[in-house]
Amino acid sequence: MDKILLSHGNGGLENNTLIKDIFYKNFQNSILEKSEDSAIIEDNLAFSTDSYTVSPIFFNGGDIGKLSVCGTCNDLAMMGAKPLYLSCGFIIEEGFNIIDLKKIVTSIKDELEINGSKIVTGDTKVVPKGSIDKIFINTTGIGKIQKNSISSLNLMEDDVIIISNSIGEHGASIFAQREGIDLETDLKSDCASLWSIVEKLIEANVDIHALRDATRGGLASLLNEWAINSNISIEIKEELVPIKDEVKGICELLGFEAYNLANEGTFAIALPKSEVSSALNIMKQFKITQNAKVIGKVTKEYLKKVILVSPWGTNRFLEMPSGELLPRIC
């Protein structure tokens, strides 16, 4: 590898290789090497950071401001942590419209209220026109862990996998809007904050083994990371995975795999079979998780692999995404 490619930011194979070969190698420590959505630090605190460069910055279902809060707060929630405090850093291109900046900041304010969190520090930089594309945002969050032991290292044989929503809506809608694809239906991003749902699951003492939101690299990346980190196999029934017809259509038209497309308000949960009914009953009380359903289970058949079972009984490996997926989706 001589130069950074767009594929190094895809959330898949190249991205993981870059992180492990360069960043993990030089920043090695016991916290970082767990490779969780958030780092667990002292006093039961979760700590996470992310940068947002989505294009277009205003999209059907949200904007870069809403996305920046949802993304970081969701990463905290996936570790069972209540989002409390965020930092927010803006890099703004010279000539950016003030009215658009006000809309973005209002979106941030509204999403903070949904999460019950607040921005307590930040930074603003303005760079010459052409240095960046309009506006980039970084958010870092700190949350208080409400339930310990949620981890990608904790999946067990016979655990059941639940997906909270249909997959691929964010990636497909961003691409359709960016490329001017006129859809007959109102496909929009699933961008949403997830803490309120996770909080209810924790309050009901649901025995959650693992949680993760299916962002860059989509469901395929999430499941492969789980399989590798827990040294297990995951078997998914293809006909059970919810995918909207509009997403299927875009995938068929352009050769995408819905399992690889990004989501920004959809998560997977791994838990014992005995907990499935309780979890689904809670999740179906929320609009954004009304379509939650069981899609598969944990096995030991092929260690560190994800198996996709077709409706006809044939199997194939669902590999970690590779190559250049959709750039600038988050």
Q: Residue 113 and residue 116: Cα distance in Å, rounded?
A: 5
Structure tokens at 167: 């997959």
E-assigned strand segments in the chain: 39-41, 45-52, 58-59, 62-63, 81-93, 118-127, 135-145, 160-163, 210-213, 233-237, 267-271, 293-299, 306-309, 315-317
Give 212's strand partners. Answer: 268
Give pTM, 2 decimals.
0.95
Q: For 284-315, how does the pLDDT look when each residue is reduced to its tens digit (9 = 90+)?
A: 999 999 999 999 999 998 999 999 999 998 99
Structure tokens at 235: 């078997």
Structure tokens at 266: 């959809």
Q: Residue 183 and residue 231: Cα distance in Å, rounded?
A: 41
Q: For 241-285, how does the pLDDT look when each residue is reduced to its tens digit (9 = 90+)?
A: 999 999 999 999 888 899 999 999 999 999 999 999 999 999 999
Low-confidence ranges of the chain (pLDDT < 70): 1, 183, 325-326
SS3 226: helix
Question: Which domains are assigned to the chain?
Answer: 36-145 (3.30.1330.10), 160-317 (3.90.650.10)
Place of tokens 């993304």: 71
Quick check: 233 and 227 in contact, CB under 8 A? yes
Q: For 48-62, how does the pLDDT look when each residue is reduced to its tens digit (9 = 90+)?
A: 999 999 999 999 999
Let me know how long the chain is.
330
SS3 33: helix
